[in-house]
């Protein structure tokens, strides 16, 4: 449902769902690919819910994900080795899924739009 291209065009992030088990349980991940080699640079997750939007900050330092239902947002920081950490900052308190993310031009603020009718 979601894809984002880094500002320098070197990375692409996309969501993924993996069904397993007899009940069709789903695990959700974000994959970050190198756009030149096609190699997977990161596999982030499993996440608590489906991803509905992804966004890189203008400097490529942060990757944000808006999650379905009431699971809010997750924000990862790019580490020195070029990968995004496994311990995201978590933003909860949403009454519904987050379907829109946008960083300010300076990358210091993140706006979110939720189906609960609020822009944060």
The pLDDT tens digits of the residues spanning 98-118 come to: 999 999 999 999 999 999 999
Kindly state the DSSP code that residue 119 receives in the 8-state scheme: B
Nearest CA-CA partner of 52 in 117, 98, 94, 110: 98
Is pLDDT at 92 greater than 90 in this prediction?
Answer: no
Residue of higher predicted confidence among 118 and 18 = 118
The pLDDT tens digits of the residues spanning 29-82 come to: 999 999 999 999 999 999 989 999 999 999 999 999 999 988 899 999 999 888
Report the side by side order of strands in the sheet with 40-47. 3-5, 11-20, 25-34, 40-47
pTM, two decimal places:
0.91
Is pLDDT at 10 greater than 90 in this prediction?
Answer: yes
Q: How far is CA 105 from the centre of its chain?
A: 18
Is pLDDT at 21 greater than 80 in this prediction?
Answer: no
């Amino acid at each position: 449902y979601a894809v984002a291209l880094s500002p320098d065009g070197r990375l692409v992030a996309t969501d993924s769902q993996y069904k397993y088990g007899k009940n069709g349980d789903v695990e959700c991940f974000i994959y970050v690919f190198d756009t030149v080699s096609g190699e997977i640079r990161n596999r982030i997750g499993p996440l608590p819910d489906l991803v509905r939007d992804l966004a890189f900050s203008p400097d490529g330092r942060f990757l944000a994900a808006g999650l379905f239902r009431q699971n809010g947002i997750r924000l990862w920081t790019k580490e020195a080795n070029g990968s995004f950490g496994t311990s995201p900052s978590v933003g909860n308190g949403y009454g519904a899924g987050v379907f829109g993310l946008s960083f300010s031009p300076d990358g210091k603020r993140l706006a979110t739009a939720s189906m609960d009718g609020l822009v944060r």
